[in-house]
Amino acid sequence: MAEERPSPESFLDLVAEQRKGRLKIYVGAAAGVGKTWRMLEEAHELRDKGVDVVLGLVETHGRADTTAKVGDLEAVPRRKLDYRGVPMEEMDVDAILARKPDVVVVDELAHTNVAGSSHEKRYQDIEELLAAGINVITAMNIQHVESLNPVMKRLTGVDVRETVPDSLLAQAGQLVNVDVTVEALRERLREGKIYPPAQVEHALKNFFKPANLAALREVALREVARGLSRQREDREALQRGGGRRPQPAERVMVGLSSNTRDSGMLLRKACRIAGQFGADWYAVHVETPSEAVSRINTRDFVKLLDNINLAGDLGAETVWLKSEDVAGAMLEFARKHGVTKIVLGRTHQPWWRRLFRRAVTQRLLVAAADFDVVVVGGDGPEEPDKEP
């Protein structure tokens, strides 16, 4: 499939626009599509044009053609760490900051760093480099997008544990899809160009099944196209506004609670809806007297903090309100802040509790006649409802 490939010059145009570092992300459906190769190819082209570019960390995985492609590009030495007596290596963020190149190439965006590193996640390393004014070219597979986590599990049966916040992808000045056909990718796997020979048959029968790869390829193409469309709309809006960013026409709100049963799914769904409309979105927690910080148990408080952190990673503005009336407080906030869509989770209270005490979802559905309301179902073992 033909793809629109931005030139290195177009990335340089972005770089010249502002002092904060710019981000370019190569996205693929799976390992082996050629993301690292493409980053290295661009690094050579940029260097040939006089750009000061270095390799912060590139994983060749022992592939001879990838190793050859590195060639004579300057690589910043990795930081050596000792983890439980085992020598390990990670990207040396401090060395890159001291070297201060124009552009740094960083592979495997979703990677989790070894304990003792500057940050827990590699994407946090990249955020520090960007904040220092260093431009970054990086790569990731589509299954690592945080908001796509439930979709990936449904498509592939794999629970992806290493994820990248949608908020980081939204910062990217360029998103580039690296695409090959399903059969071409499976052939690369058979030839030993992706995994060692001992892992090939297992991979072909599991993650690299044609149906899996076709679904992942479709998701990757759609997500990058959506990102490019959003960037184009942003540019056009800025031009119409004379360089000023207009207020989004849509705003989305979702309730935030300590109930982990469906909270992650609900937050990811709200993120997807907000992304479709280019909308700001709010994750709102209403603290009732029974769930005051001084009274809430440690387990539920930790769950609530986890949900707040996830909402922030997904790009939400988190809001903490206090009220005895959860539904009333959420509606008041929504009207005051121009919310147009409310995302709710389907209640899992037993029928006898719903009969005597309507859940927040039911009360909001009745009272929110002036909003678009999206009710999201979930699955999993039942837990008692907690107020958002």
CATH number at residue 303: 3.40.50.620
Residue 4 has pLDDT above 70, yes or no: no
Residue 55 has pLDDT above 70, yes or no: yes
Whether residue 371 lies inside any domain: the answer is yes
Pick the residue with more confidence: 177 or 277?
177
Same domain, yes or no: 276 and 223: no
C-alpha radius of gyration, the chain, whole number: 23
Mean per-residue pLDDT of the chain? 85
What's residue 225's pLDDT? 85
Packed helices 210-240 and 263-277: angle between N→C axes, nearest 10 degrees: 50
CATH number, domain containing residue 212: 3.40.50.300
What's residue 250's pLDDT? 87
Last residue of a domain, which of 194, 215, 240? 240
Last residue of a domain, which of 213, 240, 267? 240
What's residue 127's pLDDT? 96
Number of folded domains that form the chain: 2
Same domain, yes or no: 67 and 131: yes
Residue 335 has pLDDT above 90, yes or no: yes
Summarize the confidence of residues 27-55 as an average pLDDT.
Answer: 96
Same domain, yes or no: 226 and 267: no
Packed helices 197-205 and 182-190: angle between N→C axes, nearest 10 degrees: 150
Summarize the confidence of residues 253-271 as an average pLDDT.
Answer: 81
Whether residue 57 lies inside any domain: the answer is yes
Summarize the confidence of residues 23-44 as an average pLDDT.
Answer: 95
pLDDT digits (tens, 9 = 90+) for 225-259: 877 776 676 667 666 666 565 566 789 999 887 66
Residue 386 has pLDDT above 60, yes or no: no
Residue 82 has pLDDT above 50, yes or no: yes
Report the distance separating Cα 115 and Cα 79, nearest Å.
12
Whether residue 113 lies inside any domain: the answer is yes
Q: Copy the structure tokens of residue 90.
A: 């990670």
Query: Which band of pLDDT confidence, cut at 50, 70 and 90, is reported for residue 387?
Result: very low
Whether residue 387 lies inside any domain: the answer is no
Same domain, yes or no: 86 and 217: yes
| Cβ pair 123, 110 in contact under 8 A | yes
Same domain, yes or no: 86 and 175: yes
Same domain, yes or no: 354 and 221: no
Q: Name residue 342's beta-bridge partners.
A: 253, 373
Report the distance separating Cα 193 and Cα 63, nearest Å.
6
What's residue 253's pLDDT? 94
pLDDT digits (tens, 9 = 90+) for 109-152: 999 999 989 899 999 999 999 999 999 999 999 999 998 988 89
Same domain, yes or no: 54 and 184: yes
pLDDT digits (tens, 9 = 90+) for 346-373: 655 544 344 334 567 778 888 888 888 8
Query: Which band of pLDDT confidence, cut at 50, 70 and 90, is reported for residue 378?
Result: low
Query: Which band of pLDDT confidence, cut at 50, 70 and 90, is reported for residue 1?
Result: very low
Same domain, yes or no: 30 and 178: yes
Whether residue 383 lies inside any domain: the answer is no
pLDDT cut 70: percent of the chain above it:
83
Q: Copy the structure tokens of residue 140.
A: 């990731």
Domain limits for position 37: 8-240
Last residue of a domain, which of 240, 273, 297? 240
Summarize the confidence of residues 300-311 as an average pLDDT.
Answer: 86
Residue 382 has pLDDT above 50, yes or no: no
Whether residue 3 lies inside any domain: the answer is no
Same domain, yes or no: 261 and 236: no
| Cβ pair 27, 176 in contact under 8 A | yes
Same domain, yes or no: 291 and 323: yes
Length of the chain: 388
7-21, 115-129, 336-350: the lowest-pLDDT one: 7-21
What's residue 384's pLDDT? 34
Same domain, yes or no: 223 and 358: no
Using H for helix, E for strand and C for coil, what is the string for 108-143? Answer: CCCCECCCCCCCCEHHHHHHHHHHCCCEEEEEEEHH
pLDDT digits (tens, 9 = 90+) for 158-209: 888 899 998 899 889 999 999 999 999 999 999 988 999 999 999 999 999 9
Residue 33 has pLDDT above 90, yes or no: yes
Same domain, yes or no: 298 and 211: no
Report the distance separating Cα 249 and Cα 200, nearest Å.
49
Whether residue 1 lies inside any domain: the answer is no
Whether residue 386 lies inside any domain: the answer is no
What's residue 46's pLDDT? 96
| Cβ pair 11, 22 in contact under 8 A | yes
What's residue 163's pLDDT? 93
**Considering the entire predicted model, what is its pTM?**
0.72
